[in-house]
Amino acid sequence: MTHSKVPFNKPSLVGNEIKYVRDAVRRGQLAGDGTYTERCCKMLQAQFNAPSVLLTHSCTAALEMAAMLCDLQRGDEVIIPSFTFVSTANAVVLRGATPVFVDIHPETLCLDPEAVEAAITPQTKAIFSVHYAGFPADIEFLSTLAKAHDLFLIEDAAQALGSTYKEQQAGTFGDAATFSFHETKNVISGEGGALVVNRPEWVERAEVIREKGTNRSQFFRGAVDKYTWVDVGSSYLPGELIAAFLCAQIEMQDAIRRRRLSVFDMYFEAFESLAQDRQIGMPKLPLNCKGNGHMFYLLMDSLSTRTAFINFMKRHNVMTPFHYVPLHSSPAGRRFGRTFGNLSVTDRISDTLVRLPMFFDLGSDVETVIELATEVLENR
Ligand X SMILES: *Cc1c(COP(=O)(O)O)cnc(C)c1O
Asked if 158 touches ligand X (CB under 6 A), the answer is: yes
3-state secondary structure of 161: coil
Which residue(s) pair with 214 in the sheet?
229
- Least distance in angstroms from the C-beta of 110 to ligand X: 10
Do residues 184 and 177 make contact, with C-beta atoms less than 8 angstroms apart? no
Asked if 88 touches ligand X (CB under 6 A), the answer is: yes
Q: Give, in degrees to the nearest 5, the angle at Cα 179 between 266 and 147.
A: 105
**Residue number, 160 or 373, with CB nearest to ligand X:** 160
Quick one: which segment of 36-44, 90-98, 155-163, 298-306 binds ligand X (CB under 6 A)? 155-163
Asked if 156 touches ligand X (CB under 6 A), the answer is: yes
**Residue number, 151 or 177, with CB nearest to ligand X:** 177
Asked if 58 touches ligand X (CB under 6 A), the answer is: yes
Do residues 70 and 94 make contact, with C-beta atoms less than 8 angstroms apart? no
Going by C-beta distance under 8 Å and a sequence separation of 6 or more, which residues neighbour residue 221? none
Measured distance CA(118)–CA(149) in Å, rounded: 12
Residues 100-129 as x/- pattern, contact with ligand X by CB under 6 A:
------------------------------
Q: Give just the sign of the alpha carbon dihedral 213, 217, 222, 226.
A: positive
Single-letter residue type at 276: Q
**Residue number, 88 or 352, with CB nearest to ligand X:** 88
Q: Give just the sign of the alpha carbon dihedral 92, 94, 97, 101.
A: positive
Residue 301 burial (10 A CB sphere; 0-12, 13-18, 19+):
middle
- Least distance in angstroms from the C-beta of 300 to ligand X: 21
Asked if 84 touches ligand X (CB under 6 A), the answer is: yes
Asked if 130 touches ligand X (CB under 6 A), the answer is: yes
Asked if 292 touches ligand X (CB under 6 A), the answer is: no
**Of 59, 80, 248, 343, which one interacts with ligand X (CB under 6 A)?**
59
Asked if 92 touches ligand X (CB under 6 A), the answer is: no
Task: Give the interface with ligand X as residue ranges (CB under 6 A).
Answer: 58-60, 84-85, 87-88, 130, 156, 158-159, 180, 182, 193
